[in-house]
Amino acid sequence: MNTFFGLLRWAITAVFFWLPLWLNAEQSATTEPSHSTSTNAATLRSNRAGAGSIQDERSPLRQWQWLNQEPDDAGWALYIDNDLFTLRHRDQDYTGGLSITLAGARAKHYALSLERPRAAITRGLGLLPEQTAAHSYHHGIEAGFTVFTPKYIDDPSQQSGDRPFASLLYLANTQEVIDSHRDTAWVSTFTVGVLGLDAVHKIQTELHAALGSDRPQGWDNQISDGGELTAKYSFGKQQLLTYHYGQTNFELSSTSQFSVGYLTEATFGLSGRIGNFRTPWYSFRPQFNDYSEKSTSLAGLTQPQTEFYFWGGLAAHLRGYNAFLQGQGRSSKVTFSQRQLEPIVWDAWMGVTHQSASGWRMSYLLRAQSSEVRSGPANRSVIWGGIILSSHY
């Protein structure tokens, strides 16, 4: 818990105290901006209006504008989560996940694409504004898995009171709609997956064998052991709140989102980045990501170039249901009731991103989450790290 609140205090202090002071100092020192600086800021604002995307720092960046339509293939991203990336000796709670995203118009037409049900749900709920010339539409398809374990993974018994073993193997389709005039992005994702498959257990066992770690036991006690279908729909809005473009750039955006399904919740968050970047503001939204699907984003500018920046943020989740803790329709040996869980879960994150002139991008993130359980052995904060690799075609 101390780790989480320490990271949370760091994020709040950096975003709301030190950063404004630093930006004011920079503006005071450059009261007569050079022509190149002014041109750079104007170019960034102009490019915001014309570039494309599909969600967060796990996405392939496009370095050119999609003038007429979204390309069939825009790029790919590989996202790896693991608590080992925190450089701490722990293997518990949200212990890891892996996903790969393919971006571009072709994502709507793959044989297993979920674009039709995603579009039907979004249209049926009437969530998107009326289409205008300022709107651009971008798509992605993602596949991956997520793993949760209790504190003692080598104990084969039912560990009542601790987080149960749980896993999800999933496929997800995402659409992002950008309104370049209002600095607003709407993101919808539909996910279908299977809880409780033995395949995820086998992946973890092989990984631990390769690393020389403890052999995982107790997977017979996992949520929905043997397999159970599950699904989730989410819809969110991202809004650019403020920005500063100069020798060093800064952006701050807000997010509001809801999801219904194996995670049912409402989320409100803030996220910012600072450094050398020219990718559009909507290409960056780690606050949309949870510990299941990532719905990675793609963004585009006219030419590839080097970027290096730091980022951070925080979010509050008003959670109504969590299948990874409460189980679903199929009987599970270890579960929690709703009254045993915290109604509000906080998380905070910070990271660093480098993009090469050729368009390759790599990010490292550190994320902490407050406890999801009110009391008992599972009442502990969670921390994990992530590595994101991506490229465009």
Q: Cβ atoms within 10 A of the Cβ of 100, count?
A: 17
Distance of alpha carbon 311 from alpha carbon 252, whole angstroms? 10
Residue owning tokens 């550190």: 366
Q: In whole angstroms, what is the distance from residue 22 CA to residue 278 CA?
A: 20
CA gap 197, 29 in Å, rounded:
59
Beta carbons of 183 and 281 less than 8 angstroms apart:
yes
Residue among 128, 103, 99, 125 nearest 113 (CA) = 103
Q: Can you say how many angstroms the Cα of residue 8 is from the centroid of all Cα atoms in its chain? A: 18
* Tally of structural domains, the chain: 1
> Which pLDDT score, from 0 to 100, does residue 118 have?
98
Q: From CA 358, how far away is CA 154, in angstroms rounded?
A: 45
> Which residues partner with 185 through β-bridges?
178, 238
Which position has the token pair 């790290």?
A: 385
Which of these, 209, 204, 207, lies nearest to 166 by C-alpha position?
Answer: 204
> What is the per-residue pLDDT for 206?
74
Prediction pTM value: 0.82
Which residues constitute the domain of residue 32? 2-392
Distance of CA 245 to the CA centre of its chain: 25
> How far is 14 from 314, CA to CA, in rounded Å?
12
Q: Which of these, 315, 182, 339, lies nearest to 258 by C-alpha position?
A: 315
CATH number of the CATH domain containing 211: 2.40.128.140
Which ranges in the chain belong to alpha helices (H)?
2-13, 19-29, 35-50, 115-125, 198-211, 323-326
Please, what sign has the CA dihedral across residues 203, 204, 209, 212? positive
Query: Rounded to whole angstroms, what are the CA distances from 273 to 19, 99, 173, 255, 368?
Result: 10, 24, 26, 14, 18
Phi, psi (rounded to 5 degrees) for 154: -95, 10
Instruction: State the DSSP code for 203.
Output: H
Partnered with residue 141 across adjacent β-strands are: 102, 173
Q: Residue 219's pLDDT is what?
A: 85
Cα separation of 13 and 6, whole Å? 11
Mind listing the pLDDT tens digit of every residue in the chain (393 residues)?
444 445 445 544 444 444 544 444 444 444 344 334 444 444 443 343 333 333 334 433 333 345 457 888 888 889 988 777 776 666 556 677 889 999 899 999 999 999 999 999 999 999 998 887 778 888 999 999 999 888 887 777 788 888 999 999 999 999 999 888 889 999 999 999 999 998 887 877 777 666 666 677 788 889 999 999 999 999 999 999 999 988 899 999 999 999 999 999 999 999 999 999 888 888 777 777 766 555 556 544 445 678 999 999 999 999 999 999 999 999 999 999 999 999 999 999 999 999 888 878 899 989 889 999 999 999 988 888 889 998 876
Cα-Cα-Cα-Cα torsion 303, 301, 19, 38, nearest 10 degrees, comes to: 70
**pLDDT score of 320:** 97
Which residue has 């579960």 as its token pair?
A: 335
84 sits in the region (left: phi over 0; alpha: psi -120 to 50; else beta) called alpha
